[in-house]
Structure 1
Amino acid sequence: MHDPRHLLDPATEAVRRLARRGYSLDIERLGSLVASRSQSIQAVDAARSESKQLAAAVNAAARAGEPTEELAEKGRALKTKIQELDAELERHEAALQDVLLEIPNLPEDRCPDGDSDEFAVEIRREGTPPAFDFEPLDHVDLGERLGILDFNAAAKLSGSRFAVLKGAGAALERALAQYFLTLHTRRHGYVEHSVPSLVSRKTMTGTGQLPKFEQDLFKTSVGDRELFLIPTAEVPLTNLFAGEALRADQFPIAITAHTPCFRSEAGSYGRDTRGLIRMHEFAKVELVRICEPADSTKELELMLSHAETCLRELGLAYRVVALAAGDISFAAQFTYDLEVWIPTQGRYREISSVSDCSTFQARRAGIRYSDSEGKRGFAATLNGSGLPIGRTLVAILEQYQQHDGSLRIPEVLVPHTGFAQILADGTPK
């Protein structure tokens, strides 16, 4: 969320910057809402000041033995007026908040122009895509042939966009999560958390999923209690610090969690309907960092390197791209995507997004900090996938398949799986 004064400041160029991501900022309406709120605040303050003066006059008259009824009557009328002014101020506050909650973060000028992944700018490529002397199978056919993926069973249980992993496939899924968590906690310095998968509306609003993206979320209702299934562990991890005042000497805060994630994929009709690429439920290891705003760019590069380490050590060919201004998430000001090579599609596909949200989420969630000189402000928050389990499994199945129908396991996973290969009949070896 934004400070409206920041948006109204011509030096911010908010209209131009938001237009780059396809959002039309109505400066006149915003200015009018801010002015109305200011006028209401002034009216409330003036009435409260008058009320204090009147109360003092009543007390003085009483001490002097003079009549107080007329003054007391004025005081009662003024209290009623203050209640009305307070209600009016609340209405103006709510109207302004409703508008501010719908305004996305301002993209950095270094974001490329464009509104889709087609406009992403490649930064670099790492690794060499495998060359096969046979026709490779896509991850669905290979996984079903190996007996480690079962989409029919999942459809029987839950419908489309779900999967059942079994045998060596389930072991491989567990091994990936264990490897990612071990890497990030022991070598990258993140503190592992176990967090709820159900959160409140306030929590979802703090990181920017609500109110704008409610149609993309799964939610539950029991009696009068409403809870949402998290789309990413970014939501509970970041909101652990909601409403708190941190100290700069605590920074950077680096936390991680392995959670299920739930997404309705409301805007993806007809896209990636086959396989593990776009699921309603999937597991992911998420990374979150919190720091001073001046350090967010440096912290973003560090987080990117942490996500890249996963892919590099798994031996997966990938590339890094900078997302276009119109394609970054609602809360982000700049985003790198990591895209992994999918042989049967002949292209790179997103496997991780690493985003700098600056103070946008911290303002919504009330995450403040003070530096060594006592200066106060809102913290910067960053988040990234490190990595999603399903899409990583897709890349391994497609890049590590062998001519005899077996699957080789990346070396770094062997200590976690207990096997180095899945034979063509599905037997781990």
Structure 2
Amino acid sequence: MLQVNFLRENRERVLEGLQKRNFKQLELIDEAIAVDDQRKRSQFELDQNLTEMNKISKEIGLLMRDGKKDEAESAKAKTSEFKEKSQNLQQNLKDAEARLLEILYLIPNIPYEKVKAGSTAEDNEIIYQSHDVKGLGEGAIPHWELAKKYNLIDFELGVKIAGAGFPVYLGKGARLQRALVQYFLDTNVEAGYMEVNPPQVVNEASGYGTGQLPDKEGQMYFINEDNLYLIPTAEVPVTNIYRDVIVDEKELPIKNTAFSQCYRREAGSYGAHVRGLNRLHQFEKVEIVRIEKPENSYAALEGMVEHVKSILMDLQLPFRILRLCGGDTGFAAAMTYDFEVWSAAQEMWLEVSSVSNFETFQANRLKCRYKSEGKTQLVHTLNGSAMALPRIMAALLENNQTAEGIKLPAKIAEYARFDLIN
């Protein structure tokens, strides 16, 4: 969430940044400033009113002491008027604060200076590609057919148990999933990330803290009786560890990694691009989260990009890295890099990771700060997938199919304890 003082002091910069995103509600900026002005006026009048009321209350005591009962009663009548006015002003203040928060929740983050304007994924910048890519040629089959052929994943059984988008992994398919999770976690820990095992559900405050609410409320599964949400990513509970916390400067940077199930409705997703593992309602993912000093956050972002890149190199998958344009950057992010792997049988790119810097946007909502030289200020938060499982699994199956079976990369074979699926 952007701070209203930032909107006020950097109005033109904010409007320019939001135009990069193709944000259509630019009038919210001036409305937020106007509501904040109203809030300040109500606070000023309330303070004045309370000061005057306290002054009269002291006078009543003196008048009563001096036996001036009539004057004391007259002063009491004035006090009642001031009390009523204070109640009205307090309500006005409360309404203005609520409206201001409501507006600020609707305004996305401002893109970083390197982020280019753009409307769709077609405007994203390709900054790295590992291989020239092509299809596997005649006889290559997509991962959902490979999964059935080798009895790795049963999509129909998932439909029977839960519905579409909830696959059941079997035999070597389940073992391969477990091997990937363990490899990702071990690699992250070796890179200095502390492993965390967070809750798989979060409360409303946590959803607002990282920006999932109210922006993505329709995509989250809600447990009505308990007022809890199933997590869409481990980013949410892990980052909320630091909600309402003043971090010791000596503890920075903070680096966490976590494995979790992820739950997303993905409402309205249809067509060939959602077949098989391409888009699911439940999937597994390993996340990395960093809490940084503002001056270090973009160097940290580049470090996270290199880390995810090294993982994909180990997996020996063709991949590319994109810097997202303003229109394709997520609501809370200032800058995002997407990683896509090549699906050889489908002949299309599949996103497997997003690595983002949120600057102070989440920290302001979370009230996550650190103290340096006696001054308290907001941290920068970052997170990324390292990695999301379904599309990695799809690409591994499709890119490694041979006449003998599916040959796993050496690093994953070491974890899975088998190198061939046949």
- Normalising to structure 2: TM-score of the pair? 0.95
CA shift in 2, pair 1:269/1:91, >3 Å: farther
Retained in 1: the 8 A contact 2:134–2:347? no
Retained in 2: the 8 A contact 1:127–1:315? no
Retained in 1: the 8 A contact 2:136–2:399? no
Matched position secondary structure for 1:124: strand
Match of 2:116 in 1: 112
Amino acid at match of 1:284: K
Amino acid at match of 1:212: D
Instruction: Give per-residue Cα distances to partners, 1:312-355, cap 9 Å, x unaligned.
Output: 11111111110111001000010001111111232322110000
Q: CA deviation at 1:307?
A: 1.3
Match of 1:289 in 2: 290
Match of 1:266 in 2: 267
CA shift in 2, pair 1:54/1:17, >3 Å: same
Measure, in 2, the Cα distance between the counterparts of 1:66 and 1:247.
Answer: 58
Match of 2:205 in 1: 202
Residue 29 (str. 1) matches residue 31 (str. 2): yes
Which of residues 53, 56, 73 in structure 2 aligns to 1:54? 56
Measure, in 2, the Cα distance between the counterparts of 1:191 and 1:130.
Answer: 38
* Aligned-pair identity (%): 35
CA shift in 2, pair 1:115/1:29, >3 Å: same
Q: CA deviation at 1:294?
A: 1.6
Show structure 1 runs of 5+ residues with no match.
424-429
Residue 418 (str. 1) matches residue 420 (str. 2): no
Number of corresponding residues:
418
Show structure 2 runs of 5+ residues with no match.
none
Instruction: Give per-residue Cα distances to partners, 1:174-198, cap 9 Å, x unaligned.
Output: 111011001101x211111111111
Deviates more, 1:225-234 or 1:406-415: 406-415
Q: CA deviation at 1:65?
A: 4.1
Amino acid at match of 2:95: R
CA shift in 2, pair 1:20/1:81, >3 Å: same
Deviates more, 1:126-135 or 1:176-185: 126-135
Amino acid at match of 1:172: L
Measure, in 1, the Cα distance between the counterparts of 2:176 and 2:46.
Answer: 63
Q: CA deviation at 1:247?
A: 2.2
- Normalising to structure 1: TM-score of the pair? 0.93
Q: CA deviation at 1:92?
A: 0.7
Residue 160 (str. 1) matches residue 152 (str. 2): no
Q: CA deviation at 1:131?
A: 7.5
Retained in 1: the 8 A contact 2:56–2:75? yes
Measure, in 2, the Cα distance between the counterparts of 1:344 and 1:133.
Answer: 8
Residue 91 (str. 1) matches residue 90 (str. 2): no
Instruction: Give per-residue Cα distances to partners, 1:121-177, cap 9 Å, x unaligned.
Output: 111112565874753211111111010111110111112122111000000001110
Measure, in 2, the Cα distance between the counterparts of 1:35 and 1:239.
Answer: 31
Q: CA deviation at 1:11?
A: 6.0
Match of 2:7 in 1: 7
Retained in 2: the 8 A contact 1:332–1:356? yes
Q: CA deviation at 1:271?
A: 5.8
Q: CA deviation at 1:374?
A: 1.4
Instruction: Give per-residue Cα distances to partners, 1:56-84, cap 9 Å, x unaligned.
Output: 22233344443333323322332232122
Residue 38 (str. 1) matches residue 40 (str. 2): yes
Retained in 2: the 8 A contact 1:134–1:403? no
Matched position secondary structure for 2:346: coil
Instruction: Give per-residue Cα distances to partners, 1:282-311, cap 9 Å, x unaligned.
Output: 010011101111211111011111211211
Which of residues 168, 178, 181 in structure 2 aligns to 1:177? 181
Q: CA deviation at 1:4?
A: 1.4
Measure, in 2, the Cα distance between the counterparts of 1:308 and 1:62.
Answer: 80
Residue 211 (str. 1) matches residue 210 (str. 2): no
CA shift in 2, pair 1:21/1:271, >3 Å: farther
CA shift in 2, pair 1:268/1:100, >3 Å: same
CA shift in 2, pair 1:326/1:301, >3 Å: same
Measure, in 2, the Cα distance between the counterparts of 1:143 and 1:32.
Answer: 58
Instruction: Give per-residue Cα distances to partners, 1:244-268, cap 9 Å, x unaligned.
Output: 1112221111111100111111253
Q: Which has the higher helix share?
A: 2
Matched position secondary structure for 1:13: helix
Match of 2:338 in 1: 337
CA shift in 2, pair 1:4/1:157, >3 Å: same
Measure, in 2, the Cα distance between the counterparts of 1:357 and 1:267.
Answer: 27
Measure, in 2, the Cα distance between the counterparts of 1:115 and 1:122.
Answer: 16
Measure, in 1, the Cα distance between the counterparts of 2:339 and 2:165.
Answer: 23
Retained in 2: the 8 A contact 1:129–1:399? no
Matched position secondary structure for 1:160: coil
Matched position secondary structure for 1:6: helix
CA shift in 2, pair 1:132/1:213, >3 Å: closer
Amino acid at match of 2:412: L
Match of 1:427 in 2: none
Q: CA deviation at 1:370?
A: 1.1
Matched position secondary structure for 2:286: strand
